[in-house]
Homo-oligomer: A and B are copies of this chain.
Amino acid sequence: MISILSDFGLEDTYVAAMKAVIYRIAPTEQILDLTHHIPAGDVARGAIELWRVAPVLPTGSVILAVVDPGVGTNRRPIAIQSAEFTCVGPDNGLFTYLIGTEDCEIVELSNPDHLLPVQSATFHGRDIFAPAAAYLVSGRLLSDLGPSLPSFQRLPAPELELAGTHILRGEILYADRFGNLITSIGRLSRAGDIIRLEPWTGNLGAQDLRCPDPVLALPDGVTIPLTNTFGDVGTHSLTAYIGSAGLLEIAVNGGSALECTGLQRGQTVELRTQG
């Protein structure tokens, strides 16, 4: 299976062109659209979405990701093979969270046998990445696609730190389709007064925090009690909970936390005990 993520949107035929190229090389391959609505050029958002969805993707599947504001410049086109996935895309940080610190093999996509005969300067998704993904899913070896590379680009980790003994400080990462604000505070799970933290960006190790009556403090000092789901509070009320990827989220029941709070990406929030 090839899973595709991009910022191409669906208004044009860019996504269709990539899929058509895949079908020409691998006619019966299954294609899964992860999303094509990453905001234009927003590599960080693309990187988070790849990480979010990865746990349910079949092990061994090929991931084709194209959020590529540097297309046609000197950023390298790459493929990465880890124990879990084979990734194809630009070397600009897109795979930061998807590929952890485990061993992996990396190549630069430069073998002309596995590219379209003519490459445009602005659509490597169609001309370089789609054929590479299709050849890989068809059984071609990573090493057939180009020379080995020692490493790939990583984005700086989002803000996530212990502030005092039992305070977790993080930042707003993005708003989803519902206006829910997803934060960098995670991956969390909860058992009574204990909040368990497991690493996801690499900048905080696994640990248990004692945190009775947990609240999320917004930049303006307002604190929101943690619940299990947005439906646990009254209509149009603000709440926070551990979302479906283990990241702390801010939501409004029946509304948009983005509109309600006006919070922007990068603003700091803190998880701590009430009082």
Contact = CB atoms under 8 A, between A and B. Distances in A.
Contacts of A229: 71-73, 121-122
A16 interface: yes
B228 A121 contact: yes
How many copies, total? 3
Nearest to A28: B30
Given A40-B177, A122-B241, A241-B121, A53 B13 contact: yes
B122 A177 contact: no
B69 A254 contact: yes
Which residue among A14, A16, A41, A71 has the maximum number of chain B CB atoms within 10 Å of its CB?
Answer: A16
Contacts of A27: 30, 58
Of A13, A15, A49, most buried by chain B (CB within 10 Å of CB) is: A13
A12 B69 contact: no
A177 B9 contact: yes
Label chain A's interface by main secondary structure.
loop
Nearest to A51: B13
B12 A177 contact: yes
A24 B32 CA distance: 12
A231 interface: yes
A265 to B, nearest CB: 15
Contacts of A30: 23, 27
7 contacts: A3-B20, A11-B176, A14-B176, A16-B34, A73-B231, A120-B243, A120-B244
